[in-house]
Each structure stands twice: as structure tokens, then as C-alpha cells.
């Protein structure tokens, strides 16, 4: 493959879509040598084919707010690749959602899902609907209208959405109810469902748990341990919550979390059940501010308008949104002697940040490897739905742990460089690519 030509072509074909171009460039740069060592991939034009989503659905979502005013939002579902299983990926409700956001996330999802070892293709969807300040009735009416259109394109064997930013158990419930009403089917068409109606134990915790299991692999590879390590994370939502829970359980010392309004530093540690549970409470208000944490807990200090990455730490984990850690943030972390940086949000770091961290020899994990525990557990929910049974929390957790270990192994297998440095970005991209690419070759010129 001609790397520069493909990057240029992608830019020309997807103008005004910087996120998609960023995600593609990172993958192409890291798989290029591997692809060129295996001529079959060029022969079947696999890379070119992966750069075009199989389908993009874009639709109007009209709903009525509490004042009786009509509101119009945009809905999306990008079905990127179905080679190894039904399309699978979350729904994001956030004002920043555009076709660009959806395309980059769906592209990433294909590689991530491939890494999980489970049979899931890649997709992503969502809306520019902003849940902030909306009443429960407004959220329900929006979800019902959104699903009225989306249901035409999804199904338990075709495309199985789940949650993402702005979509949690409540929204999945509203959307599932509407799907059931329209189709008359109680099937595994969404994951992240409530426990009483087809959900899986551990799914809410899974992204954060999985990320910490992956981090343990990174530590282990350096003969290091998590116990007592000073950690900081961005965000305070579902992913940050699961991460905080597992860090506390394993004896790490989490001292900072953040929101769009600033960050919280708590030198006594954010590790008691009361503090971690309060993250959920804050999140449930949908006001998207972390400041009240410092009003509730005397040991916590709030730093308004500041980014959490200025806090000295050994481990930093992005748990909020794409490109939240940039080159300057990376330099600050490095100057403060950070040892491990884990992207838990999808593409949490800018390309500059990744380059700085890798240049400094910092152990760095990309989101598609480190956060794959969420979708992996969605895959386990699909299995339980298909078999009409439910596993215990211990069974799900054990499978999740096994999957994260196998993702780590695969990253090492394809990412270890001659000097011993583990390039997790390269390892994840190559390992994710192989399975999808080989499946596409086996299935003929279909997509
Ligand atoms: O980015 C992600 O992997 C998710 N939001 C979870 C997707 C899923 O289908 O569980």
C-alpha cells in the first residue's frame, strides 16, 4: 500500500472531517509495513475497502419539548464493517456529534471489536441531541422518536447498538421500549439493558474494569504493580466510575477526576464507596459539572477551568471524550514523570500527544485496546440473550478479564519493537486488522 497516497485520498474524499482523517491516519501509519509484507491484502484492496463505511444512515429526529415546542435533531448510524459479525457499537447523544464523529468512532469500533475475540462487526450511531438540562419526559420522547427511525436499520443479527456518552441505562430502556412496541419482539437488539429485562451483570462496570485489567497487563510487562500508584483520570461519568471502582479495589491511589468545568484533586484519595458512588449521582443530574464534588467532600479541592493533566501522577487515564489530552498536556505529564498513559475514551489523545508519549518511552495504550471491555461485555450480553440465560457477575467478570488479557497479549505480539518497547498502538491496529481483513478475503468481493 502507498501510505502517503492513501492518506491524501482519504483527506480528499472526506473533507471537513478531521476526526475521521485522524483515526484513519493513525491506523494506516501503523499497519503499513505489515500490509506490505503480506501482498494478499493489497491484491484484495483490503485497506482501500476498509476506508469506506458499508453504509451511513442519517435521519431527522423530531420531538416535542416540555413547553410544547417542536425540536429537530439529527440522528446517525454508521455501519462500518460486518465481516466478522453483526454491526456493534454505541449510541452517543452529545452536541458535538456530527457525521465526522460517527465515522471515526465506527472505524475505530471495527478494529476494537475484532480485538475482543468475539464475533462483532463495527458500527456507531447517535445524535447531536444535548441531554444537559432536559427533563426525563423530554429524554423519553427524544429516545422514542430516535428509535422510531433507527429500528428500520437494526436487529439482533444485523446491528446491535448500546450506550456511549449521554446514553446510559435510562436511555437504553426508553429506546428498547419503543423498539419492542414497534416490532413486537423482545430480542437482544440493544445491549446495556436493565438486569430484569435481558441485561448482563457487570456491563455498567465493564469499560472501566476492562481498562484497569489492561493497565495491569502493561504494569506486569514492566514487572511493576498497581498497588499504591498515584493515578489521575479525566471525566466522572460511567467509564470514569468503573475505572475508579477497580482502581480502588486493587489498591491504587486515585487522586483526581474532572469535568468540563475543571478538576477535583483529593489527596485523601477517591477510593471510598461513598465518593465513588457520588460520581454516579453527579452524573445522573446531567448537568455535566464536577464542582459539587468539592462541596460534598471536605478533602476535595476544585480547580475551575483547569485540565486535570497538570496534576503530577504515575498513571493517567482519559475517561471523557476524544482529543482531550493534547501535546502540551503530554509534555506536562512527562515532565511530572508519568509512567503509564491509558486512553479509555475513544481517541482520547491527539496525534501530537501520542507522538510525545511514545518518543519519551512512556507505556501508552490506545482506546481501541484499553476500552474494549465495554463492547466485549456487550458481546457477552448478546450471547446470554441468544441462549436465553444469565451468567453470574463472577462468570462475566472472569470472561472479561480473560478477554482483556488476550487483547494485551495480541498487542505485545504485534507491537513489540526491537528495543523492547511495546508499541500498543501498532499492536492493536495490526491485530485488529488481521481478523477483519482475512474474513473479507474469505467472503469474496462483497463489500
Ligand atoms: O465505544 C464503545 O466501545 C462503546 N460505547 C460500547 C459499545 C457497545 O456496543 O457496547
**How far is it, in rounded angstroms, from Cα 447 to Cα 440?**
8
Lookup result for grid cell 482529543: 323
Per the annotation, the verdict on 306 as an active-site residue is no
Residue from 77, 164, 376 whose mutation best tests the ligand 1 pocket (most atoms within 8 A of CB)? 164
Is there an atom of ligand 1 within 6 Å of 378 CB?
yes
SS3 label, residue 61: strand
For atom 9 of ligand 1, the residue with the nearest CA is 89
- Indicate the average pLDDT of the chain: 98
pLDDT digits (tens, 9 = 90+) for 36-57: 999 999 999 999 999 999 999 9
Atom of ligand 1 nearest to the CA of 113: 3
Please give the distance, rounded to the nearest whole angstrom, from the Cα atom of residue 415 to the centre of ligand 1.
24
Long-range pairs for 8-11 at CB < 8 Å and ≥24 separation?
A: 9/51, 10/51
Q: What is the pLDDT of residue 286?
A: 85
Residue from 163, 188, 209 whose mutation best tests the ligand 1 pocket (most atoms within 8 A of CB)? 163
Q: What is the pLDDT of residue 5?
A: 98
pLDDT digits (tens, 9 = 90+) for 304-350: 999 999 999 999 999 999 999 999 999 999 999 999 999 999 999 99
Lookup result for grid cell 509484507: 37
**How far is it, in rounded angstroms, from Cα 103 to Cα 20?**
6
Amino acid at each position: 500500500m502507498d501510505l502517503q497516497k492513501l492518506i491524501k485520498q482519504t483527506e480528499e474524499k472526506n473533507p471537513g472531517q478531521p476526526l475521521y482523517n485522524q483515526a484513519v491516519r493513525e491506523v494506516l501509519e501503523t499497519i503499513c509495513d505489515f500490509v506490505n509484507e503480506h501482498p494478499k491484502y493489497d491484491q484484495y484492496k483490503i485497506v482501500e475497502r476498509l476506508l469506506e463505511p458499508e453504509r451511513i444512515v442519517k435521519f431527522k429526529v423530531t420531538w416535542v419539548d416540555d413547553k410544547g415546542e417542536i425540536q429537530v435533531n439529527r440522528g446517525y448510524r454508521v455501519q462500518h464493517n460486518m465481516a466478522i459479525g453483526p454491526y456493534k457499537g454505541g449510541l452517543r447523544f452529545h452536541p458535538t456529534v456530527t457525521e465526522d464523529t460517527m465515522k471515526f468512532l465506527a472505524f475505530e469500533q471495527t478494529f476494537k471489536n475484532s480485538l475482543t475475540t468475539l464475533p462483532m462487526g463495527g458500527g456507531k450511531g447517535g445524535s447531536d441531541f444535548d441531554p444537559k438540562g432536559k427533563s426525563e419526559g423530554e429524554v423519553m420522547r427524544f429516545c422514542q422518536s430516535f428509535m422510531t427511525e433507527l429500528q428500520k436499520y437494526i436487529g439482533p443479527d444485523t446491528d446491535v447498538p448500546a450506550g456511549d456518552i449521554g446514553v446510559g441505562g435510562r436511555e437504553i430502556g426508553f429506546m428498547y421500549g419503543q423498539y419492542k412496541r414497534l416490532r413486537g419482539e423482545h430480542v437482544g437488539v440493544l445491549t446495556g439493558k436493565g438486569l430484569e429485562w435481558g441485561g448482563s451483570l457487570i456491563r455498567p462496570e465493564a469499560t472501566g474494569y476492562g481498562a484497569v485489567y489492561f493497565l495491569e497487563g502493561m504494569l506486569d510487562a514492566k514487572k511493576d504493580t498497581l498497588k499504591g500508584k498515584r493515578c489521575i483520570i479525566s471525566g466522572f461519568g460511567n467509564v470514569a466510575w468503573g475505572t475508579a471502582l477497580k482502581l480502588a479495589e486493587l489498591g491504587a491511589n486515585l487522586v483526581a477526576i474532572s469535568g468540563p468545568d475543571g478538576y477535583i484533586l483529593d489527596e485523601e484519595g477517591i477510593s471510598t464507596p461513598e465518593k465513588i458512588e457520588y460520581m454516579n449521582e453527579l452524573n445522573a443530574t446531567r448537568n455535566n459539572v464536577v464542582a459539587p464534588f468539592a462541596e460534598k467532600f471536605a478533602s476535595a479541592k476544585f480547580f475551575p477551568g483547569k485540565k486535570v493533566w497538570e496534576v503530577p501522577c504515575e498513571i493517567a487515564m482519559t475517561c471523557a471524550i476524544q482529543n482531550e489530552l493534547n501535546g502540551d498536556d503530554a509534555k506536562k505529564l512527562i515532565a511530572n514523570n508519568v509512567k503509564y498513559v491509558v486512553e479509555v475514551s475513544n481517541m482520547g489523545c491527539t496525534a501530537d500527544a501520542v507522538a510525545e508519549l511514545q518518543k519519551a518511552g512512556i507505556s501508552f495504550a490506545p482506546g481501541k485496546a484499553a476500552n474494549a471491555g465495554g463492547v466485549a461485555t456487550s458481546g457477552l450480553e448478546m450471547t446470554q440473550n441468544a441462549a436465553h440465560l444469565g451468567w453470574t457477575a463472577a462468570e462475566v467478570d472472569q470472561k472479561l478479564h480473560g478477554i482483556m488479557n488476550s487483547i494485551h497479549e495480541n498487542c505485545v505480539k504485534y507491537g513489540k519493537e526491537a528495543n523492547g518497547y511495546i508499541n500498543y498502538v501498532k499492536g492493536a491496529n495490526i491485530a485488529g486488522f488481521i481478523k477483519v481483513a482475512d474474513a473479507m478475503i474469505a467472503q469474496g468481493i462483497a463489500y
